[in-house]
Structure 1
Amino acid sequence: MSATTTTTTAAQGHAQPITAENILHLFPEIDSSLADTATNGGGSGELQGYDEEQVRLMEEVCIVLDEDDKPIGCASKKVCHLMKNIDLGLLHRAFSVFLFDPEDGRLLLQQRADEKITFPTMWTNTCCSHPLGIPGETGADLSAAIQGVRRAAQRKLGQELGIPSGQVPLDWFKFLTRIHYKAPSNGLWGEHEIDYILFIQAKVDLNINPNEVQAYKYVSADELREMFKDEKLSFTPWFKLICNTMLFEWWSNLDNLDAFTNETQIRRM
């Protein structure tokens, strides 16, 4: 696998690697996106009409990657989630947390709020978000990146679900693997991520942020399988990918995860 992501533009007519040197040339909106303002419930352009708080969060700065998970720059969450940029190859770092009740092994799920700009109302794992281009959450090598996503996971569990950081210590998060996937949300928005999978077993108190989460529930593996049979329910694409490939094997080995942790290869999906 090459050390860069390759893309082709109609104007260029040939493949060009995405590197730190040419990222602004390929994605000129990256510069201007950081100046976008999220006022009066909509910001500008593509963000008109969305929830004010969710628009504000679109200003957060994600870590832009090459295909081997090496940081090559930063761009706003908005820029990273526009399909027009994703289709050119723009890729960013993310994480997915799976939190289990240590007493009965049930998994905490959330249903994303209506206000969410990408994949609203869908059921998904406990928490899914991004480490940011800020001190403590970045990392070029794998060990530093894992620690960065642990910090981001602790932060977002608090912001979305109201879980106190002391109930989810950083060293309780077990890193399993990374998945590289792409998925559209609608015609405008989508995901293209290298997603770090984190498991944690913890008894937690919840104080749900309704702007992020409209419902939650703890489920057993069999209950989750039944949910997937319900045609009235929809699920995020990364959650379905993980469930259809690896989750249930990992879940059945919650008390013996060492054989599945710290995988160095990136799984391409």
Structure 2
Amino acid sequence: MLMLLNTPYALSLSRSLASSSFPSPPTRRLLSISSTFALPPPRFPHSSLVSSRVSPSFRTQASAATSTMGDAPDVGMDAVQRRLMFEDECILVDESDNVVGHESKYNCHLWEKILTGKMLHRAFSVFLFNTKYELLLQHMLVMLCKYSMWKIFFTCLSFRVLGQQRSATKVTFPLVWTNTCCSHPLYRESELISENHLGVRNAAQRKLLDELGIPAEDVPVDQFVPLSRMLYKAPSDGKWGEHELDYLLFIVRDVNVHPNPDEVAEAKYVNRDQLKELLRKADAGEDGLKLSPWFRLVVDNFLFKWWDHVEKGTLKEVSDMETIHKL
């Protein structure tokens, strides 16, 4: 059975936004939520979409931020948002995956800096299958205040509405379907461990909890199978982009999923045929459906042949961590 997850507050949010003077975000069809994967209660009262930390003159502040953003990119950010973009640092690597430094997520995803060739950083993409060999996908949240569109950084002065506190990667490619979890190991001791790629696996375990509420005991680090690495570059909107050396991690587990409404709009398990239909719709441009560039690269180059090994229990036989595929 195809199981769908959806943020239950989206309808009330869309009604509130309809009367706003902000440009309307792209529309998307809202799907019914499975009771099995019920989302947690909202982090703000239904009567207000604005955090208590934001004054009533939000639009005035936003306008001020627009005029000063070029000089001070952290204007209006709260402490959490500032940490995500400027204190959490990605691991910079060369094209052979040797660590050469570290840099903020903010700088790593600015396209003008990516073009310098100095922002290549480690990433990971998790592909989680249940024991029916269905793949868990997620739909990245709509960013209501995309930087390139309104010239206000994605935080929008602490305007906390269903996923406003997103990492830079997810600001780059909103409204796309992608694999189970995609993010970055950080420049910290536990995520720099090179032996058996433990640092990347630690990061994957951390982000599965952050994004999908999957507890660590459901995804032990020794159960991740690193299959390969790929190097790719992808622009988003002229302002943001990706240049990543991406670790592809597969895991087969039945897990408890409790999506973070600040991170994930929808999630669903798909079998092979359902994924092929998703690809067909994306290629045809139906319903505005899009896939993340890294997910599409994996699908086109590896996924279906690896899926055979998922079902046979022979994933380790096709693991090749020596090769870095430049795609």
Q: Which residue of 2 aligns with 1:122?
A: 176
Amino acid at match of 1:57: L
> Separation in 2 of the partners of 1:79 and 1:56?
13
* In structure 2, C-alpha distance between the alignment counterparts of 1:202 and 1:240, rounded to whole Å: 23
1:205 matched to 2:256? The reply is: yes
RMSD (CA atoms): 2.3
Partner residue in 2 for 1:267: 325
After TM superposition, the structure 1 = structure 2 runs for residues 155-194 of structure 1, keeping only pairs within 5 Å, are 155-194=206-245
Query: Per the alignment, in what secondary structure is the counterpart of residue 190 of structure 2?
Result: coil
Partners of 2:306 and 2:82 in 1: CA distance: 35
Find the counterpart in structure 2 of residue 72 from structure 1: 100
Q: Distance in 1 between matches of 2:125 and 2:266?
A: 18
**1:238 has 2:294 as partner:** yes
Question: Does structure 1 retain, via aligned residues, the 8 Å contact 2:225–2:316?
Answer: no
Aligned-partner SS, 1:253: helix
The answer to which of 258-267 and 199-208 deviates more is 258-267
Aligned to 1:149: 200
The amino acid that maps onto 1:176 is L
Higher strand share: 1
Q: Is the 8 A contact 1:160 1:212 kept in 2?
A: yes
* Partner residue of 1:195 out of 218, 222, 246: 246
- Give the match for residue 253 of structure 1: 309
* Partner-residue secondary structure (3-state), 1:109: strand
Residues 107-145 of structure 1 show CA distances to partners (whole Å, capped at 9, x for unaligned) of: 000001123411011100000000000111014x5x35x
User: For 1:248 and 1:54, how far apart are their aligned partners in 2?
Assistant: 37
- Taking the aligned partners of 1:194 and 1:68, their CA distance within structure 2 comes to 9
- State the percentage of identical aligned residues: 47
Cα offset for 1:186?
Answer: 1.0
Q: CA deviation at 1:243?
A: 0.2
Q: Which of 67, 77, 85 in structure 2 is aligned with 1:58?
A: 85
Once the two structures are TM-superposed, the CA of residue 51 in structure 1 deviates from its matched residue by 9.7
Asked if 1:99 corresponds to 2:153, the answer is no
CA distance in 1, matches of 2:78, 2:172: 12
Listed one character per residue, the Cα deviations across residues 11-54 of structure 1 (whole Å, up to 9, x for unaligned) are xxxxxxxxxxxxxxxxxxxxxxxxxxxx9798954566899965
Q: Structure 1's 234 and 82: CA in aligned 2 closer, same or farther, altered over 3 A?
A: same
Native 8 Å contact 1:54 1:117 kept in 2: no
Matched, 1:109 2:165: no
Task: Tell me by how many angstroms 1:66 deviates.
Answer: 1.1
Larger RCO, structures 1/2 (Cα 8 Å, 6+ apart): 2
Letter in 2 for 1:249: K
Mapped to 2, the partners of 1:120 and 1:212 lie a distance apart of 11
Larger radius of gyration: 2
Paired AA for residue 326 in structure 2: R
TM-score between the two structures when normalised by the length of structure 1: 0.79
Structure 2 distance, partners of 1:268, 1:240, is: 14
Alpha-carbon contact 1:179-1:194 (below 8 Å) kept: yes
1:206 positional shift:
1.1
**Secondary structure of the equivalent of 2:191?**
coil
Instruction: Name structure 1 gaps, 5 residues minimum.
Output: 1-38
- Counterpart for residue 265 of structure 2: 214
